[in-house]
Amino acid sequence: MVHLWLRAETKLNEHRAALTPSACKVLLENGFHISVERSSERIFDDEEYEQKGCTLVPTLTWKNAPADAYIIGLKELPENDDSPLSHQHIFFAHCYKNQGGWKDILKRFIKGNGTILDLEFLVDEKGRRIAAFGYHAGFAGTALGLDVWTNQQLHPTQEFSKVEPYPDENVLIKYIQNRLDGAVAVHGRQPRIMVMGALGRCGSGAVDCARKAGITEENIIKWDIEETKKGGPFKEILECDIFVNCIYLNQKIPPFLTKEMLDEGRQLSIIVDVSCDTTNPNNPIPVYNVNTTFDKPTVSIETANPHPIEVISIDHLPTLLPREASDYFAKDLLPTLLELKNRESSNVWQRAEKIFKEKCALADS
C-alpha cells in the first residue's frame, strides 16, 4: 500500500496544497493510505480531508512518519535545519538549477539516504511537465502588476500594501477592474502590458488575466521565441508600463533588461518577474536581487531616472488564488500519483529519480 503524508506548509502566507480533498478521495479509492498534517493556513479545512477518509496527524510530524511514506508538499522544507533526511519527498525543491544553497539541500538527502522526487521535474517523454502552477502564477502576477500600476496612479506617494488571497478568480477580477477604472480616469489611458513567454502555460495565464480585467488587445504585447530569437536586451520593454516575465529558464541567455537601461527615458514602471529566478546566476532580469512577499509585494529599484520602478518577485504567486490553483494542479498530478503503485515501471518517476541522483553526484563532487 502506498502511503502519502501531506505535510503542513511552513512558508509564510502559503495556502495551497499539493493534495486536495477531491484528489485524496480518488487515491483512497485506489488503495492508497493518506495522512494529512493539520494546518490552519491551508485553504482546505482539515475536516474536508477527514470526511474523505484521510487520517489527520499533528502538524510537522513528518520526520516521524513510517520509513516507506512519501512526504508530499509544495514549497521548501522548514528553514534553519540541516539534519539528514531519510524519506522520499515529493515537492518543489528548487535546487537543480544552481539556486542559492542548492548543495546544502541535496546534502541533507545524501546524508540521510533520502530522495527528492521534484515536482518541477515530473515530465513526459517530450520533457513537458505533467503538472504545474504556471497558469495561475501568470494570472496572479499580472493581477498584482495591474494592482500596483493603479496604486502608482491613484496614490503615487503611498507604498503598495500587503496582499491577501482571494476566494476565487471572479472576486479578484472584479476588484482589479474597479481599481483600473479609477486609475484610467486619472491617467487618461490603459496601461500597456508586455508578456514575455506569452505562448506558454504561464504566459497564457498572464494574457487571460489582462483580457478579463478589460485591457484591450492592442495594449497586450505578446512576445515569445520568435520575437526574442535575436537576443536581448530589448528596448521595447521600456515602452510598456508593465513587463511580465513568464519564461522558463533552463540555460544562460542574454539579459532582457539591464540596470543601465532603467536610467534611460522609459514608460516602464513595473516589472513582474513571475519566473522569479532571483538567485539563479543566469537570471535574465539582473536588476534586482531579492524576493518580495505577500506582506511586502514590491521592491523599488533606484535609478537615475526619477520615474519610479517597482519589482514584484513573489515566488509563490498562485497562492493568491489558492483553492483554484490547488484544484488545477492536483487534478493534473493525480494520474502520476496513481503510478506510484508501480513506480519502478513509471517513466515519469524513474526520470525524476535519475535527475536527483545526477544532481547529488554534482553536489557531492
As annotated, the active-site residues are 75, 94
Residue spans of alpha helices (H) in the chain: 21-29, 46-52, 102-112, 134-154, 169-187, 201-212, 225-228, 322-338, 347-363
CB 76 within 8 A of CB 120: no
Q: Is 2 annotated as a binding residue?
A: no
Residues pairing with 118 in the sheet: 91
* Residue in the structure block whose three cell numbers are 500594501: 161
Specify the pairing of strand 310-312 against strand 299-300. antiparallel
Q: Is 203 annotated as a binding residue?
A: no
Q: Is 274 annotated as a binding residue?
A: yes
Q: Is 128 annotated as a binding residue?
A: yes
Q: Is 104 annotated as a binding residue?
A: no
Q: Is 288 annotated as a binding residue?
A: no
Q: Is 232 annotated as a binding residue?
A: no
Region for residue 167 given its phi and psi (left: phi exceeds 0; alpha: psi -120 to 50; beta: otherwise): alpha
DSSP for 175-223, written as a single string: HHHHHHHHHHHHHSSPPPEEEETTTSHHHHHHHHHHHHTT--GGGEEEE
> CA-to-CA distance for 329 and 214, rounded, in angstroms?
26
Q: Is 228 annotated as a binding residue?
A: yes
Q: Is 314 annotated as a binding residue?
A: yes
SS3 state at 268: coil
Indicate the annotated binding residues for NAD(+): 128, 200-201, 224, 228, 248, 274, 314-317
Indicate the annotated binding residues: 128, 200-201, 224, 228, 248, 274, 314-317
